[in-house]
Structure formats: C-alpha cells, structure tokens
Amino acid sequence: MTDTTSIKHQTPLTSGDFTAADEPFALFEAWLNEAIKSEPNDPNAMALATVDPDGLPDVRMVLMKGFDTEGFVFYSHIASQKGRELAANPKAALLFHWKSLRRQVRIRGNVTPVTDAEADAYFATRPKQAQIGAWASKQSQELESRFAFEQAIAKVAARHVIGDVPRPPGWSGWRITPSRIEFWHDRPFRLHDRIEFRRDAAGQPWSKTRMYP
C-alpha cells in the first residue's frame, strides 16, 4: 500500500509520451508524484461518486490515503451518506483533477471495505484531534449548532485525556478496485490526449485504448 505522504519523487514516467504506458498503476504513481510537487494543497484529493437507491448520482471530495495494484483507499464514516450508498451499491467512480498540471484521471470499479487491521493502522496515524473528531461526528446527520458539535468533541476529549484513542466502530475505509482508469492531459486547442485502460476483473491483463478527446 502506498502512503501518499511517503511517496518519493521519481523520474516521471511522463517525461516522454505518457500514452506509451502499458499499465496504469505506475503511470498513476508518476502523475501523483508530479502533483505532489505542483499542487498548492491536497494532491491526493479525489471526487468520489456513488449512487443512491433511486440511481441518482452523488459526489463529494475525499482524500485518497493509499493505493496499490489492489485499488484506491479512502476513509470515512460507515453511516454517512456515502457509506450507506456504498453498502447498498458497492460501485464507485473517482476523479482526480490536478489543475496545475492540467490533467485528470478517471477511475471506475467495485468497492470493498478495507480490513479492520488496515483501518486500525491508518486511524492510529491520524492526529489525536482528528481521532476525537471521528468519535464526535455523526457524519451526514443534521447538526443543530456548531456548539453542539464542540460539546460532543469536549466530551470525547475528556474521556481520552490520557492514552490512545481507539478507532470508532462506525469509522472505516473502502477500496475501489479499478476496472477502468482513464488518463487525460490537456493539449493546445483542446486536442487533448486520452488513454483508457480496461480489464474484465482484478488480476486480469489491462487493454489500452486511445480515445478522441
């Protein structure tokens, strides 16, 4: 699992023609490494699209906290809107847009929960205030006032003045295992470059198609 905070800069795969890449993960890592250098903040921010039970799409930003050939991982509250939508329909699309590089990456695939061990390991790396916030927030439910949230935070903080904060049972992560990954790079006069990698299932070989922009 690649932790985005520890990715080392490497010779960009993209110094030449990125459309020559024959596999998407190394290309994604090279583009992310370039984004880490160029974006003003959150190069690992991605839009996460899900659908509700009526088939109506929903989208919001989340932070990608790791990726490898198994997929792209983010963390959130299980009872949140996104958590409920993923429980009912475990499929999602992701979108990275790196404005400074004029690039986007589109990802679609099936979603599975991460293991408890993975979620525990990531939760343990969060700052204590963020851990306390995860206990205090009933994400996506109505909040009567900011004060009510601050009171909830103070109560949790009082319980954990000393010692580690364990992971709340309602907080975990999900992995999107891609079946499609599309790389898009701006070119002059909107004559952009697009390549799409597809595979039938995880572990199967990727096929690559160049697309009209």
Binding site for ligand FMN (CB under 6 A): 42, 45, 58, 60-63, 74-76, 80-82, 139-140
- Helix 128-136 vs helix 146-159: angle between axes, to the nearest 10 degrees? 120
For residue 43, the minimal CB distance to ligand FMN (Å) is 11
Residue whose CB is less far from ligand FMN, 39 or 70: 39
Tokens of 165: 């904060």
For residue 209, the minimal CB distance to ligand FMN (Å) is 31
For residue 49, the minimal CB distance to ligand FMN (Å) is 10
CB 65 within 8 A of CB 1: no
Q: How far is CA 51 from the centre of its chain?
A: 16
- 169 class by beta-carbon count within 10 Å (0-12 exposed, 13-18 middle, 19+ buried): exposed
Tokens of 127: 């700052």
Out of 103, 190, 194, 210, the active site residue is 190
Q: How far is CA 153 from CA 45, 147, 196, 205, in A?
A: 25, 10, 45, 48
Residue whose CB is less far from ligand FMN, 14 or 65: 65
Calpha distance 59→66 (Å, rounded) = 20
Calpha distance 3→98 (Å, rounded) = 18
Catalytic residue status for 190 = yes
For residue 167, the minimal CB distance to ligand FMN (Å) is 14
Helix, strand and coil in the chain, % to nearest 5:
30, 30, 35
Q: How far is CA 79 from CA 89, 123, 148, 168, in A?
A: 14, 17, 19, 12
Residue whose CB is less far from ligand FMN, 33 or 44: 44
For residue 63, the minimal CB distance to ligand FMN (Å) is 4
Catalytic residues: 190
